[in-house]
Homo-oligomer: A and B are copies of this chain.
């Protein structure tokens, strides 16, 4: 049975109709008698006919595929994002071409270029994209949605996480729990998320604890850098009452530094992170953090892109922002007052 696959012509011949009619039946374009429809369908089924996508794409100019260009993402973030995108794409009959683990601008550019002609639209998440990047690498007429990006373009919609609001909410919470001296462990300077979280910290301090000193130590999102930051904070002559890390991994590292030094969390110092990675629940004490609904991000991005694909597209490109929730666990010392029950997916596989 390794013979050549049946073509539309085979079906037509066998059903004693023209290829046009076969095409019409199978695409649900109207204009064909129920009787012939039946015959065509029967023959198609019998021959196991499946339309050739290349030929179809060639003539229609559509691939029914969207591309996702992603950086070297970690664990849950990656899987949740893909899940959201994939589900939304499937619901629309779209396929998903993934190119991940890009590091560096050339890498990302190559990925975007390679997708040309294979996809009807693109989802791009990369710290390297800016207006110039897009002009250089994206075909002029290819719709794209940017994720988590600072660019403001009239051509491309952008979908961001509201890092700033999330950071503000968490800092506010810490301050209202009586810890007005909040220190901040910053993330990589070039990282957009990190910048926004930093801004949120400063805004919240200015608003809710204007008399408290600003206290920012460097970090790079790694656990190791969080550990170093933790030690650095302990060495300060006036220790902060709370520490807000720009992400959970640094918070975890910081937590270890505190444990090591015999500093009790949250009694001596409160602690909070950002992202709500799975580990946050499992460190002791469980880490308060800011939750980002990543699957939603993917889903909304894809829906946005799908709207762009529609020729009757009228909505102008804009920047949309997706809020986050703070989830209060034990490290932030505030009584359990605000504890959001975080309903998380259960791991289903090994």
Chain A residues within CB distance 8 Å of chain B: 1-2, 5, 50-55, 57-58, 63, 65, 71-79, 82-83, 86-87, 90, 95-101, 113-118, 139-141, 187, 191, 193, 221-224, 247, 249, 252, 274-275, 278-279, 282-284, 292, 345-350
Chain B nearest CB from A256 CB (Å) reads 9
Q: Which residues of B contact A191 (CB under 8 A)?
A: 350
Are B349 and A71 interface neighbours, CB within 8 A?
yes
Are B348 and A72 closer than 8 Å at their CB atoms? yes
A194, closest chain B residue (CB): B350
Partner of A95, one of B99, B279, B348: B99
Instruction: Knowing A5-B139, A79-B73, A101-B83 are in contact, say whether A53-B118 is a contact too (CB < 8 A).
Output: yes
**Beta-carbon nearest neighbor of A192 in chain B:** B350
Taking a contact as CB atoms under 8 Å apart, the answer to whether A117 and B279 are in contact is: no
Instruction: Decide: A97 near B65, CB < 8 A? Known: A78-B78, A140-B2.
Output: yes
6 nearest interchain CB pairs?
A: A54-B57, A78-B79, A74-B347, A54-B58, A53-B117, A75-B76
Within the assembled complex, what's the spacing in Å between the Cα atoms of A221 and B51?
41
18 contacts between A and B (CB under 8 A): A53-B57, A58-B58, A72-B349, A73-B79, A74-B345, A74-B347, A74-B349, A76-B76, A96-B98, A191-B350, A221-B349, A221-B350, A222-B347, A223-B346, A223-B347, A278-B279, A279-B279, A279-B282
Quick check: B275 and A278 within 8 Å, CB to CB? no
Tell me how far the C-beta of A334 lies from the nearest C-beta in chain B, rounded to whole angstroms: 23
CB-nearest residue of chain B relative to A78?
B79
- Quick one: which of B1, B95, B101, B249 contacts A114, CB cutoff 8 A? B95
How far does the alpha carbon of A247 sit from the alpha carbon of B99 in the complex, in Å? Answer: 30
B349 with A73: CB separation less than 8 A: yes
Q: CA A63 – CA B292 in complex, angstroms?
A: 37
Q: Are B96 and A97 in contact (CB under 8 A)?
A: yes
Residue of B nearest to A98 (CB): B98
Closest to A87 in B: B101
Residues of B within 8 A of A58 (CB): 52, 54-55, 58
Bound Cα distance from A343 to B113, whole angstroms? 34
Q: CA separation between A86 and B97, bound complex, in Å?
A: 11
Min distance, Cβ A137 to any Cβ of chain B, angstroms:
11
Interchain CB contact under 8 A, B118 and A95 = yes
Kindly provide the distance from the CB of A300 to the nearest chain B CB, expressed in whole angstroms.
17
Q: Which of B52, B116, B283, B292 contacts A117, CB < 8 Å?
A: B52
Option from B82, B222, B350 in Cβ contact (under 8 Å) with A98: B82
Residues of B contacting A98 with CB < 8 Å?
82, 86, 96-98
